[in-house]
Amino acid sequence: MYEEFDRENMFGAIWDFPKNLVDALKLGNEITLSQSYINIQNVVVAGMGGSAIGGDVVSILEKDNLDIPFVVCRGYSLPNWVNEHTLVVCSSYSGNTEETLSALDDALNKKAQVCGITTGGELGKRLKKSGEDLVIIPSGLQPRAALAFSFVPMVKLLEKAGVLEPGMETWIKHTIDALKEARELYCRESDENPVYELTQQVYNKIPIVYADNSTLGVAAVRLKGQFCENAKMLAYYNELPEFNHNEIVGWENNSNLFEHVFVFWLMDAHDNPRVKHRQEITQTVLNETGVDQYILEMTGNSFQERFLHMIHYGDWLSFWCAIAHGTDPSPVEKISRLKEELLKRI
């Protein structure tokens, strides 16, 4: 039984994703901004890991609603073009992510308009002290399990800042209902669950995730990260069409390694028509190498629903891979060790 290994209840955190969406929407609707955001010409989300992915999700779910550049910055500094017409959203679940705190200092030095999303920590303290808008989200989760609180309040914040036109309510309720139905199957520790069954094929291999960058590229990033953090497995991803201009050639030498690799194709009805042709041709090319391939495609009434369903599917897949390895999916000991060593080198 999974409870033997899941000592910090990642099962519950994944199960709660639909509820988190409900709670995050309520939180987002209650945001009251104290600052006036004037003449915003571009947006930068500064964050790392599970906090940065929230910005990625916003960029894809709201892409048809974004009329200005929207960039997710993973690092210590911001682009040189950031200025007083830039809105910088600092996203750090713990509030203590050193890269994000450094990016905050950079944003203030560049006279950007700044706000933040966090549970508190040093980021919360600094934003409160400087009088910037701050959205406080619930604590007690692993950052990667707090995805709903990373992206839904960000959408609402951007709506209230005048960057986005309101529109989330048109699709989110139906999406929540669909996810509630899907989790009833994905949570089962049996071969009746297609996610659990797929786990048995992939958990002892290296997953490589491919997707169209205009639709499910962000979902591929998320799945790769979940394999790494939850299942403690090496995993990689790439996007089409760029993949077809370099990586496809790499499927030639070192063929003795191909039996240890498992390729996922994340596909959606809204994939670019030319990319669909590329996917089909590339699958044929890879079939000739003998590598295992698997197509994942979700159904749903909207792209947003299918996208979040893909995210939820991948979260369960990474969870069951962890259990197959006899691993607790929650702790990230190597990240904790890295942070401890970095503190010694300040």
Contact 189, 196 (CB under 8 A): yes
DSSP type of residue 112 = -
Instruction: Please provide residue 14's backbone torsions phi and psi, each rounded to the nearest 5 degrees.
Output: -70, -40
Helix (H) or strand (E) holding 294: strand 292-297
* Residues near 32 by beta carbon (within 8 Å), at least 6 away in sequence: none
| Annotated catalytic residue within 26, 111, 277, 339 | 339
| Annotated catalytic residue within 4, 169, 192, 245 | 245
In 3D space, the residue among 266, 264, 286 whose CA is nearest the CA of residue 212 turns out to be: 266
Told to judge if 305 belongs to the known catalytic residues of this protein, a careful annotator would answer no
- How distant, in Å, are the alpha carbons of 29, 81, 82, 109, 334 from that of 69? 24, 12, 11, 21, 35
In 3D space, the residue among 153, 270, 275, 255 whose CA is nearest the CA of residue 210 turns out to be: 275
Instruction: Please provide residue 51's backbone torsions phi and psi, each rounded to the nearest 5 degrees.
Output: -80, -35
Cα Rg of the chain (Å, integer): 20
State how far the Cα of 73 lies from the Cα of 88, in Å rounded to an integer.
10
Q: What is the DSSP string of 147-211?
A: HHHHHHHHHHHHHHTTSS-S-GGGTHHHHHHHHHHHHHHHT-SSTTSHHHHHHHHHTTSEEEEEE
Told to judge if 339 belongs to the known catalytic residues of this protein, a careful annotator would answer yes
| Annotated catalytic residue within 62, 99, 159, 229 | 229
State how far the Cα of 35 lies from the Cα of 162, in Å rounded to an integer.
12
Told to judge if 325 belongs to the known catalytic residues of this protein, a careful annotator would answer no
| Residue where the block lists tokens 């508190």 | 120
Query: Active-site residue numbers?
Result: 229, 245, 339
